[in-house]
Structure 1
Amino acid sequence: MAEIEVENRKFVTIIIKTIGPSLPSRLSIPSPIQVCALRKLVAINGQLPSENLRLIWRGNVLQDDDSGDELLQLKDGDSLIVAVKPKPPPKHVRDGLGDDDDEDDLKFQLPRSTSRWKRRLYLMLKHKLKLPEMILVAVFSLSLKMWAVVVMWFVLAPVAQRFELGPLYILGTGFGIIFYNLGHRKPGEASAYSIFNEDFRELPGTLNADRLDRDIRAGQF
């Protein structure tokens, strides 16, 4: 860091405006002055790290001059904007903030309770055969029972086509999927559809035409 020579120089008072909640301050410095020396004085005055300071004067960012020949001609009342560049996080934190981590979170991963043979199969399909993620999801998201049903469906499909029952086979498959995904209610649990409940009882808060009519008659609207 260059030392400040004050011989044959006059002192001027400038206004320091630090970006942030701090109030402007005044600093008396010699003029002309080098950027590196000005940066050091500003850092000492504001107790700031000099290597993280950015000095802005008359709309320009001041850069250190290695030759040391160029000097700044400051005047009384000049404003100097000071920005403190935040310190970068530690290296191990930066390494953990990469985009690859976000992508890994979105990729399909096996549960920890998965058996060893399934893990081996997963690694073989992913790394050796290079299967896409969608296929891996389809392979490992279904249970053995569901895979047996899928295989049976493909076995029976040509039979249904031979007897010209292809459309009925497709429709039956669709209805079967619908009924399979309806779920099972616990004893005493009401359904969201009143037609499946005893006495067509509706769930509390259900909005229908009868309730709208009652609200209109009661002056709720």
Structure 2
Amino acid sequence: MGITGMIYMFTMVFSLIVLILSSSTVGYDYFQFTQQYQPAVCNSNPTPCNDPPEKLFTVHGLWPSNKNGPDPEKCKNIQMNSQKIGNMAAQLEIIWPNVLNRTDHVGFWEREWLKHGTCGYPTIRDDMHYLKTVIKMYITQKQNVSAILAKAMIQPNGQNRSLVDIENAIRSGTNNMKPKFKCQKNTRTTTELVEVTLCRDRDLTKFINCPQPPQGSRYLCPADVQY
């Protein structure tokens, strides 16, 4: 192989290495902070919850996402070091419980980290930073859907509510940015609000309007929902 060929091969190998190293930093353009309403989650799950749900929106996950194209998943095979969770566990069990199986909170966080958190670099630095970021968003920064709705006098009493009223209440806590909703029919006539998603920019510094699910999605919400 001549000098020219060696230079060409070196350039190609170097370019490939750079692409691999940088791929984890360009795979998303915003974050979804999704919270689930515990009773609705239990009602929509084929297997009953093993403990009574609380009438609260608690964290489902913090997900790096793309406005166009598929969202990244399982970007690195880096397992969560659960031994480091320590004192955070008490807070996490309240704000980020495994609603379906409360004997497996840690397993839930581990799965969320592996599927979603590993894709959040450089904004999410590592597994413990992922957990700390969720705690900060939900508690310190008051991005708690239940608290936002309660402030607007919208209480979880199982009545039908105007989706517009719910949206306006949430907008009041997110600089007037549009959330995303997920609903599920629990009877022929009643549809429950299952999830609310707040969207943040790539750096988690500000709220943005959430991209909306396509028309025809089975999780779209009607004008009135049960909450």
Q: Could you say whether these structures have the same fold, taking a TM-score greater than 0.5 normalized by the shorter chain as the test?
A: no
Greater relative contact order, per chain length (Cα 8 Å cut-off, separation 6+): 2
Q: Which has the higher strand share?
A: 2
TM-score (norm: length of structure 2): 0.17
TM-score (norm: length of structure 1): 0.18
Q: Which has the larger radius of gyration?
A: 1
Q: Which has the higher helix share?
A: 1
